[in-house]
Amino acid sequence: MYLRIYLAAAVAAVTLAACQDDDSGATETARKLTYYGADLSYVNQIEEHGGVYKDDGQQQSPYAIFKNHGTNLVRLRLWHNPAWTKEIYGADGTKMYSDLKDVEASIRRAREQGMEVLLDFHYSDTWADPAAQDVPAAWANITELDVLKDSVYNYTFKTLRYLDGQGLMPELVQIGNETNCGILFTDAPAGFPTCNVCEGKWAETGAVINRAIDAVRDATDASSTKTKVILHIADPKNVKWFFDNLTTTGGVTDFEIIGFSYYPLWHTTITPDKLSETIAGFKTAYSKDVMILETAYPWTMETNDSYTNLFGSDPILPGYSYTRQGLEKLLTDMAQEVHDGGGLGMIYWEPAYISSNMKDAGGTGSSWENCAFFDFSGNAIPAIDYMQQ
């Protein structure tokens, strides 16, 4: 329910000031973004290993819960051949996760709820981020840039054409994940044509990214869905350096959206109240839409399993306590900032990553349950309602 402000200006000002003075509730200002998103990549794995989601005490599909609370975009990561996600369970492993089959099932679940989809190509068999952009094992023997470009094109094109054939073409596609230093350059064998812009390889990186974008355009030519392309950087402080170089030396201009990760406890150069001017600056500089593709914040410092949480002892942001109300207020304020800066939307990273018997490379359970939109009994918490304030 979007707030409708019909009160006299003086009354509205008093109400707004009261809401901003503490973290007891959402900031009372009207705003609506195009996209309120949730990265739900872990959901299938969690549910298949004992995780249960509830709303008002009633067990429900997490996709339905998110839809009912205002989510209209689901983000899903895609790994090339994540065999390790099956092998980590040993003899009990029955399937891979975040491969094409798993992603297909997730897109169907999103579609059943009428939500759009952002498909995040990592171009790796595992996590891609600023520190790691591992080369897929299937591409390890490539030694020529033209062959790598063809491999990236064919993989991207075939993936999207397959999904389109199933009626599941995503509305948005990411070419790489947190590509601060480029793509396809860590754990690379000798002779591999790496694309590391931190070593000056802007032309090579741009050539590979452009072929991935070509694949998106070609795949959508015969589709009723005209998928938009996003490029993704971690930390807004890196956006200008990356896109200044990529759009000139790298020759990459055919994309619609600049996306960045913004975890305010980690990305401290820009405070939440500076997001609007930051986003507006990016829009002006590059004439592109802008989105926050990942964000999160703890609502408690307690834990629910033996898996060490990624946020565990960080000092709080001033004005945003580690409480359910503090998280809700931060997200509401951030959404207002994104709106005021002309941003397209924002996505919360893995808000359904609750404790279960799920395993990953770091442990069993969740390293994120204190940042999820569910309490330790699986019930949705008020932060999930920030999309409807």
- Catalytic residue positions, numbered: 178, 294
Q: Left if phi > 0, otherwise alpha if psi is -120 to 50, otherwise beta: which for 381? A: beta
Cβ distance 173 to 230 under 8 Å? Answer: yes
Cα(181)–Cα(148) distance, rounded to whole angstroms?
Answer: 18
Tokens representing 186? 């860590």
| Buried residues in 118-149 as b, exposed as e (16+ CB within 10 A) | bbbbbbbbbbbebeebbbbeebeebeebeebb
Cβ distance 125 to 134 under 8 Å? Answer: yes
Cα(355)–Cα(157) distance, rounded to whole angstroms?
Answer: 36
Half-sphere exposure (Cβ direction) of 352: Cα atoms closer than 13 Å? 29
Cα(122)–Cα(29) distance, rounded to whole angstroms?
Answer: 37
Amino acid (1-letter code) at residue 389:
Q
Cβ distance 135 to 188 under 8 Å? Answer: yes
DSSP string, 259-308: EEE--TTT-TTS-GGGHHHHHHHHHHHH--EEEEEE----S-S--SSSSP
Cβ distance 74 to 38 under 8 Å? Answer: yes
Cβ distance 305 to 366 under 8 Å? Answer: yes
Cα(119)–Cα(74) distance, rounded to whole angstroms?
Answer: 9
Residue matched to tokens 């001017």:
277
Residue matched to tokens 């975040």:
98
Cβ distance 41 to 350 under 8 Å? Answer: yes
Tokens representing 5? 């402000």
Amino acid (1-letter code) at residue 151:
S
Cα(384)–Cα(387) distance, rounded to whole angstroms?
Answer: 7
